[in-house]
Amino acid sequence: MTQRLDMRGHSGVKQRKTSRDIRQKDPPMSSTAWRVPLIGALFLFALSAVVLMIMRPLMAIDETRYVTVAWEMWQGGSKLVPHLNGAIYSDKPPLLFWLINIVWSVTGPSEWAARLVAPAFGLLSVGLVAVLARKLWPEEPERAGLAALILGTSGVFLLFGSTTMFDTMLTAATLTGMLAVWAMRDTERFAPVIGLGIALAFGVFAKGPVILVHVLPTALLMPLWATGAERPALKQWYARIGIGFLIGFGIVLLWLGPAIIFGGAEYREQILWKQSAGRMVESFAHGRPVWFFVALLPFFLWPWGWSRAGLATFRPSRLWEDAGTRMVTVWFVAAFVAFSLISGKQAHYLVPEMPALALILSGLLPTAERRMRWLRLLWLLPGVATAIAAASVHFGAFPELPEGTGSWLFVIAGVAMLVGGALIVLKARQGWFAEAFVAPLVLIAIQIMVWPILWKVYDPAPIASLIASHSENGVATTDRGYAGQFSFVARLENPVTVLGNSADLGRWMAAHPDGLVLAANPIEGVDGLSQIAERHFRQNDWRLYQVAEAIAPSASDAAATPSSAN
């Protein structure tokens, strides 16, 4: 009797169907059809990122700080060693600041031009994840387009991808590294080794040695995901990994060598130790418990992992069914564990692993979401929670917010958008089509609902405009943690003097008649200093004081109350 080859082996024993078998029951996709969802993903990410940026100001303290560093470089500062407020800035490498300056050489020092640089790498990452999916599963071209769509419309990636930070650049570097690692498995040519070195150097220039945590564990754990005949010889493999590392290190030395010479011993210690290994050993910033990323995992999976079909892709049998899925699983798990054990943690540290989740989720089964469509409403929960919080502002739930930050009009507009989103997700026949619009719609609705808070509490422009109009005789601040919040927005051409104590204030006043002093707390009992404005910004009511045109000799010894310095 003739045996059915798709269900039985030659012995006639029934074989277990894999998810790939189920997917391949659908009509085959042409070799180019996957480009349609890729184009859709690129369009949705670009449009959503621009809209999200339009709807919020340049956010302190991260975005304002990074654009200020680029501004000081533009003003004639060192191109090798970044500076913030006149002091060496060792927290981050210079790639983002270089790129902003390159863009400014065409557009001039525009805030919008600067804000588009980092999201451009988010767009690049959406394209790269499709390329990687094509390499991992060449017989399933539909996964390339779906992986791009999942990444480009995932909530966490959209949120951080629309900001002026380093994570999209690091994501692009990580994807480049994974492409090189996979190519090294398939060929003995030297080109992928060079590609690995370039990817590692790219990551170091983007955010520092942390790129090693994102890429090297997957490469070193190759025996876990490459099995049988597809596994390269171990000795040759690790030798090629080492050569790739040395190539990357050599590229980085082209900048790092001169930088540590001109930056001095302090910069050398900070950039080589404190910002990488020091963070792993003992947190000096952003200390979090070991379970921090476990608690955030649902947000990283939103919305694509908030469905039965999405959760099904994380079954152990699915995660280990082929070499490509095994590699992606090792990539995510290794980075997740490593960053959980590192003392310093921030939510955006795992953004470079979002492509790994997108690649896993691209194995969604096409027939898994035909019933219980009402469960799709769960995808809107972040927006509903924000609506409740925004409405509660009107009932005194957040007394620390200044007056005028609550508006029923914006809450109603955001809720109306959520209702429209609910209709879309309920009516859509294909779950993946509905999910593609969830995060963009919900994030935009959230920003509509918190619009008054964003612009009345977090916008540095009102204070910066006052500083700009009174800055000709010098600007100082009693905020010892000043991080350039106003320097770029005010287009200051000189650093803001940070005053450590009341004696510093007196001496600065004597040397800067008619100068301007910023204070996050009141300055009391100082002659020759008059308050000219007060504006709320973030958690403080900032006060602007102007020094009298002529200061009496005794004023230089004036003593401020303890509240004058932060």
Q: Which domain holds residue 434?
A: 373-455
Residue 95 carries which side chain, given as an amino acid letter? L
Helices 292-301 and 323-341 cross at an angle (nearest 10°) of 140
* Domain shared by 422 and 500, yes or no: no
Is 6 within a domain?
Answer: no
Question: Could you give the CA distance from residue 484 to residue 482 in angstroms, rounded to a whole number?
Answer: 6
What own/partner pairs with CB < 8 Å and gap ≥ 24 does 391-397 have?
393/453
As a whole number of angstroms, the distance between CA 438 and CA 436 comes to 6
Per the model's pLDDT, the better-predicted residue between 214 and 256 turns out to be 214
Q: What is the pLDDT of residues 342-383, one digit of tens each?
A: 877 899 999 999 999 999 999 986 544 555 677 778 888 888
Q: Alpha carbon of 382 to those of 50, 157, 377, 386, 446: distances in Å? A: 21, 15, 11, 6, 8
pLDDT higher than threshold 70 for residue 14: no
Residue 16 falls within a domain, yes or no? no
Q: Do 351 and 388 fall within a single domain?
A: no
Distance in angstroms (rounded) separating the CA atoms of residues 65 and 397: 31
Alpha-carbon distance 130 to 34, whole Å? Answer: 9
CA 48, CA 421: separation in Å to the nearest integer?
15
Q: Are 545 and 523 in contact (CB under 8 A)?
A: yes
Query: What φ, ψ does residue 111 adopt, rounded to 5°?
Result: -60, -45
Domain for residue 172, yes or no? yes
Judge whether residue 562 has pLDDT over 50.
no
Q: What is the pLDDT of residues 475-485, one digit of tens each?
A: 999 998 899 99
CA distance 68 to 82: 10
**Whether residue 331 sits in one domain with residue 432:** no
Among residues 425, 455, 485, the one where a domain terminates is: 455
| Alpha carbon distance 475, 546 (integer Å) | 9
Same domain for 296 and 344, yes or no, is yes
Residues 476, 381 share a domain: no
DSSP 253-308: HHHHHHHHHHHHHHHHHIIIIITTHHHHHS-SS-B--TTHHHHHHHHHHTTTTSSH
Token pair, residue 312, equals: 């099904």
Residue 271 lies in a domain: yes
Q: What is the pLDDT of residues 279-306, one digit of tens each?
A: 555 554 557 889 999 999 999 999 999 8
* 479 and 444 within one domain: no
Name the 3-class secondary structure at 509. Answer: helix
Q: Are 293 and 307 members of one domain? A: yes
Are residues 84 and 208 part of one domain? yes
pLDDT in tens, 84-96: 999 999 889 999 9
Helices (H), 55-166: 62-74, 95-107, 111-115, 117-136, 142-152, 155-161
Sheet containing strand 497-498, edge to edge, reads 497-498, 475-477, 516-519, 540-547, 529-537
Residues 125 and 267 in one domain: yes
**Domain endpoint, select from 361, 388, 417:** 361
Please give the average per-residue pLDDT across 216-225, as a whole number.
96
* Angstrom distance (rounded) from CA 10 to CA 226: 26
Give yes or no: residues 538 and 486 share one domain.
Answer: yes
In this structure, the strands spanning 83-84 and 516-519 are unpaired
Instruction: With cut-offs at 50, 70 and 90, classify the pLDDT of residue 501.
Output: confident
Q: Which residue bears the tokens 């649902």?
A: 298
Same domain, 218 and 311: yes
In a domain, residue 424? The reply is yes
Classify the C-alpha dihedral 370-372-373-376 as positive or negative: negative
Distances (CA, A) of 278 to 268, 269, 283, 285, 342: 13, 10, 7, 10, 10
Q: Match 């008054």 to its residue by tokens.
A: 452
Residue 4 lies in a domain: no
Domain count, the chain: 3
Q: Is residue 339 part of a domain?
A: yes
Q: How far apart are CA 48 and CA 163, in angstroms?
A: 12
User: What does the pLDDT read at residue 3?
Assistant: 36
| Continuous H helices in 450-497 | 451-457, 461-469
The answer to whether position 104 is within a domain reads: yes
Q: Both 501 and 355 in a single domain?
A: no
